[in-house]
Amino acid sequence: MDREVDKEPQAALMLHFYKNLSPSNILELYQQVGTLSGILVTSNWSDAWPSALRQNLECLDQQRVQLEQKAQGVLSWCKDNHVFLLNITHFDYPPLLREIASPPIMLFVQGDFELLSLPQIAIVGSRHATGSGLNTAFGFAKMLADSGFVITSGLALGIDGAAHKGALETGKTIAVLGTGADITYPKRHRDVHQKIIDGGGAIVTEFLPGTPPLAAHFPRRNRIISGLSLGTMVVEAALKSGSLITAKYAMEQGREVFAIPGSIHNALSKGTHSLLKQGATLVESAADIVEQLKGMLGHAALEAIPSSVPSMPTNMPIKTDKHENELLLNAIGFDPVDMDTLVERTGLSVVELNRQLMELQLEGVISNQNGLYDRLE
């Protein structure tokens, strides 16, 4: 099994480089075969498949050597640049993202890939935000990150950048790119890009190294931003904007959409007001979002557990009990402590530990300041 898993990144790249198969073709084949590498094994090809598809696979087999060479080139680049290639068959592939209609076959991740499976809030908005909008995005991101949520956005100018910066004040953030992992766009955000990595965050993209910032890539990026997140918050947006595309994806994916109301005289409020008319939740404080999503945190944590691990019965309430509280509080002790130390002291997974810490924060028992947990009683 381990040897099979090791073949998956190369197989994902080979299938990507073979232009006669679309991403939807690859997803369909993966769902039938069960692995990406299995698609490349001729004995797995079914006579029941359409003849055109079988012919495509036979042509792929004839190009196997060239495809392997191209794949190995990318894998070598990833190794040299400390980028992790996370494919859809990997047990650490984010479970919420796997649920969307067109999940990416592979993600290039620089930084902490485990963050992708933790509870996230997307914060998006205009590139030409007002000063008030920037302050709002920064403040909400700071407070939500302090509550334990990972803040996810697109590294764009304006609201995205403010959200990343706010999250870095108190917690972790994920930037999803519309370029290759080796390209920072816009260039003005090189420092933000580096601070995200230095702060224990993650840079994520489905695009190959060297991919430039083409306009068609950003809607694809937006489906990943919303797909990773429990909910998407739009701060300021014009009626025709990428932020509303992200919100539309979130609605289609069955995720929560939050909108900040604004002045009727501000063109950047028209997009958020339109979302409110469509049923988005009006929010005035970070507490509004925490209150609405806190019940989903336990579910998100359970979904992140690999399928090989027995799941809890579906009728079991997801709530930290007194015994768990005492064990975790004892592990925290009476001095500020970071997540890595708590993992070592408790033996819990990052996902489960994050769930318990979040519930204790919501109950006002502990605080989180710049990634250090401290008892309040």
Q: What is the pLDDT of residue 315?
A: 32
pLDDT, averaged across the chain: 87
Q: How many other CB atoms are found less than 10 A from the CB of residue 308?
A: 7
Structure confidence at residue 318 as a pLDDT band (50, 70, 90)? very low
Q: How many other CB atoms are found less than 10 A from the CB of residue 31?
A: 8
Structure confidence at residue 171 as a pLDDT band (50, 70, 90)? very high
Q: Is the pLDDT of residue 311 over 70?
A: no
Do 111-291 and 319-375 show the same overall fold?
no
The three state secondary structure string of 39-92 is HHCHHHCCCCCCHHHHHHHHHHHHCHHHHHHHHHHHHHHHHHCCEEEEECCCCC
Q: What is the pLDDT of residue 118?
A: 94
Q: What is the pLDDT of residue 307?
A: 38
Higher pLDDT, 148 or 310: 148
Give the right CATH number for 319-375 from 1.10.10.10, 3.40.50.970, 3.40.50.300, 1.20.272.10: 1.10.10.10
Give the C-alpha distances (Å, rounded to integers) separating 252 from 133, 295, 363: 26, 21, 32
Domain ranges of the chain: 2-80, 111-291, 319-375
Q: What is the pLDDT of residue 297?
A: 56
Q: What is the mean pLDDT of residues 5-16?
A: 90
Smallest Cα–Cα separation from 242: which of 147, 174, 151, 176? 176
Backbone angles phi, psi at 52, to 5 degrees: -65, -40
Range scoring the smallest mean pLDDT among 186-195, 202-211, 234-243, 353-362:
353-362
Q: What is the pLDDT of residue 128?
A: 94
Q: What is the pLDDT of residue 322?
A: 61
pLDDT exceeding 90 applies to what percent of the chain? Answer: 66
Q: What is the pLDDT of residue 317?
A: 33
Q: Is the pLDDT of residue 345 over 90?
A: no
Q: Which residues, listed in sequence order, are joined to residue 109 by a DSSP beta bridge? A: 84, 204
Q: What is the pLDDT of residue 373?
A: 82
Range scoring the smallest mean pLDDT among 144-148, 276-280, 363-367:
363-367
pTM metric for this prediction: 0.79
Q: What is the pLDDT of residue 316?
A: 30
For the structural domain made of 111-291, what CATH number should be given? Answer: 3.40.50.450
